[in-house]
Chains A and B, each alone.
Chain A
Amino acid sequence: MITGKRRYPGESNWKGWFYLLPAFLVYLLFTFIPIIETFRASFYDWNGFSETQTFIGLDNYVNLLSDPLFLKAISNNLVFIIFYSIIPILIGLLLSAILTGKPIPGFSFFRTVFFLPQVISMVVVGVIWRWMFNPVSGPINQFFSLIGLDQLRQAWLGSFKYALPAVGLIGSWVQYGFCMVLFLAGMQRIPLEYYEAASLDGANSLKQFLHITVPGLKSEIGVAMITTMIAALRVFDLIYSTTRGGPGETTLVTGFLIYRSAILNNRIGYGAAIATILTIIILALSLLIRHFMTEKPSEAI
């Protein structure tokens, strides 16, 4: 029998699949099956442990769209994108430009220090910042008193005005180091000749940054956007360890609402429906960013 492919004697073409088996098994058990299960559960009314699961079709989804808590949570998640994604990318770009512009003493020290927040567990980050923001003993309010600006003291995490930006800035603090390291690596790829040519043509540092560095980092920015945006949309631990969604619903996010519905209120189906919608939003945004930000082969020089 003649097959189209060339094969060495004794080699079979299906053996290779088995090398995938361990990873595939893990993926199947811990990612794929739970996703399918969540999707299925979103069509049921179920408390999570009793044997009766009632099929209710799209009811969970219909109820969601008229649930003010869900709409509030989604809009808070969108605000979080500013703090988790846009601000860190801007700071990351700025820092990497500064750090690579001229040789700075202690370059690797700064690079490590800026990256540190990224490696701390989110719950620890939450606990630290809760203390930082403490109205009585926290360093932030004490600093304002020290410089004589007592009127700037706030109940940060409990304030209807400042809680959301305060929690958001914690996110920025965590994410910018990651963006910076990503951009620093990407900048190694940009040929120095570009900068030389540009300065010969009289372009200043700002122009060089805008016209050489930023376009050169297009794919890195894309990666940073996808990762940070996903982090913004699925944020849970930070909220859990700081404000628990309060005051009122000021910092309520989708991730926390899922926890509240599915775990605390025994409404697995409802929680699953929120999770499904969140997954779809994350997928759609990721694909969109990938579409616009990935370097196409034809564009490469």
Chain B
Amino acid sequence: MKKSRVLMILVLTLLLILSACATPTDQPQPQVPSEETTLVVWDQFYRDEESKVIETLNTEFEAAHPGVKIERETKVLADLQMTVKLALGETDGPDVAQVNQGRSDMGALVEAGLLLPLDDYVAQYNWGNVFSSSVASRNSFTPDGSTFGQGSLFGVSPTAEVVGVFFNKGIFADNDWSVPTTFEDFEQLLADIKAADITPIAFGSLDGWNAIHEYSAIQHLLVSLDYINNLTYGVNNVSFDTPENRQAAQILSDWARAGYFSEGFAGIGYDDSNNLFKSGQGAMTITGSWFAPELMTGTDQEFGFFLLPGYSGKSTMAIGGVGVPFAVRKTTRYADLAAEYLDWMISPRAAELWAQAGMVPAMSLPEDSQIDTDNLFGETLLAWETINKNNAVGHYIDWATPTFYDTLVSELQKLIGGITTPADFTAAVEVDYANFLQEKSQ
């Protein structure tokens, strides 16, 4: 009997301590009337040159808004993704936060009712003129979070990305190779480079995700924009198991078998393959425009950028999109100020700062911009403007289902590892896609 009483005392003490710990946060903080408003912003621009852009914009925002203080917290994307979901549910969470696109992140947060729909501000700030509808759909969901690509706008992205081909100008000049204008030329070029005993494409699939870009860049030349939209947004019941997707898989696995990729590519990580390319071991590499700033410093080689050319007579579409968008917490006390901050982040001034940092801005540069575009950055900027103008901005297809990324990585590694055939590949990916459509319709 005595023992159980001791235990009870113990438990009671514990509960007392626990409740003592919990009480202070439950009480409403006494509101100290102050002239200073603090806007808490979480972003993922941790790299030096990116961080400086945000710092500058924040300082200028504070100067333009007396009494407003920005409390900035920077995390790497993976950390941000994990913590922001919980933080946005707190009453003292960040007022503005970068929220990754796609169903698992923005979609899930919209479904949970944690993000503020920005429809009112679209009209107020004329964001329709800043972004094309194709760009806006990437940050849009129906209010219940179920349908991607339509409904309300939940975020604005300051930067843009396009996946294309970086090439080593020195190697091209030494061998009299020129930038191909059709996909047929491109494949001929691959064979020529291989024959000259040079690695045609610096590529490593150990990290997986960049294999999706490698595959999908080819896929984008074979399918229509409607198809890639339907697939990504999960509408109109399309299938992944199509002749075009199989053909793209066939081309990719042929390249792997022909030795067009770096030796031992299956065991090379993304950064390592980039370093190979930067050090001149490889004539080309297929990746996103974000790689450009790194190629402009710390090397004596000269690089160029072109969009993967389309089949002769067919138009070119490229994987592209806008960067991680800024979103507003639904329960923020400063919704208007937060929207003002978002508008600041996508202003012409922001465009200029991003361009200076070598990153493609999602917004147009001001007419009188003094940015030097006669370089690699200019070539990526031109590529983005080209596809944006021609309504040829494709998608990162791994957004299509919550598990699509894992499935694609795994199945692509099998495909280029020679374990599966192109038909196996599209069939296996279709299983994931069909499951998703079925669950979604229930």
Q: Which listed residue, B6, B14, B204, B263, touches A25 by the CB 8 Å rule?
A: B14
Given A50-B108, A249-B410, residue A158 in contact with residue B14 (CB < 8 A): no
Q: Is the CB of B417 within 8 A of A160?
A: yes
Q: Which listed residue, A49, A243, A265, touches B112 by the CB 8 Å rule?
A: A49
Interface string of B87-119 (1 = CB under 8 A from A): 011000000000000001000110111100000
**How many Å from the CB of B135 to the closest CB on chain A?**
25
Count of chain A to chain B residue pairs whose CB atoms are closer than 8 Å in the complex: 115
**How many Å from the CB of A38 to the closest CB on chain B?**
17
CB-CB < 8 A to A135: which residues of B? 262-268
Closest B residue to A16 by CB, please name it. B6
Given A136-B262, A248-B413, residue A260 in contact with residue B406 (CB < 8 A): yes
Q: In residues 1-30 of chain B, which contact A (Cβ within 8 Å)? A: 2, 6, 9-10, 13-14, 17
Q: Is the CB of B10 within 8 A of A265?
A: no
For residue B434, CB closer than 8 A to chain A, the reply is: no
Q: Which listed residue, B88, B108, B268, B403, touches A158 by the CB 8 Å rule?
A: B268
CB-CB < 8 A to A11: which residues of B? none
Count, chain A residues at interface, CB 8 A: 39
For residue B76, CB closer than 8 A to chain A, the reply is: no
Q: Is the CB of B82 within 8 A of A263?
A: yes
CB-CB < 8 A to B112: which residues of A? 47, 49-51
Given A135-B267, A136-B262, residue A158 in contact with residue B206 (CB < 8 A): yes
For residue A133, CB closer than 8 A to chain B, the reply is: yes
**How many Å from the CB of A14 to the closest CB on chain B?**
5
Q: Is the CB of B267 within 8 A of A156?
A: yes
Q: Is the CB of A159 within 8 A of B266?
A: yes
For residue A28, CB closer than 8 A to chain B, the reply is: yes
**How many Å from the CB of B349 to the closest CB on chain A?**
35
Interface string of B400-442 (1 = CB under 8 A from A): 0011011001110110010100000000000000000000000
Q: Is the CB of A158 within 8 A of B410?
A: no
Q: Is the CB of A50 within 8 A of B111?
A: yes
Chain A: interface secondary structure? loop
For residue B63, CB closer than 8 A to chain A, the reply is: no
Give the size category of B's interface with A.
35 or more
CB-CB < 8 A to B2: which residues of A? 13-14
With the chains together, A153 CA to B266 CA distance in Å?
13
Interface string of A143-180 (1 = CB under 8 A from B): 00000000001111111100000000000000000000
Interface string of B254-279 (1 = CB under 8 A from A): 00000000111111110010001000
Q: Is the CB of A153 within 8 A of B264?
A: yes
Given A50-B112, A260-B406, residue A17 in contact with residue B85 (CB < 8 A): no
**How many Å from the CB of B94 to the closest CB on chain A?**
14
For residue A247, CB closer than 8 A to chain B, the reply is: yes
For residue B336, CB closer than 8 A to chain A, the reply is: no
For residue A118, CB closer than 8 A to chain B, the reply is: no
Closest B residue to A49 by CB, please name it. B85
For residue B208, CB closer than 8 A to chain A, the reply is: yes
Q: Which listed residue, B88, B108, B409, touches A266 by the CB 8 Å rule?
A: B108
With the chains together, A137 CA to B273 CA distance in Å?
11
CB-CB < 8 A to A265: which residues of B? 104, 402-403, 406
For residue B371, CB closer than 8 A to chain A, the reply is: no
Q: Is the CB of B6 within 8 A of A17?
A: yes
For residue A246, CB closer than 8 A to chain B, the reply is: yes
13 contacts between A and B (CB under 8 A): A17-B6, A21-B13, A25-B17, A47-B108, A130-B206, A135-B262, A135-B266, A136-B262, A154-B264, A155-B266, A158-B417, A160-B414, A248-B417
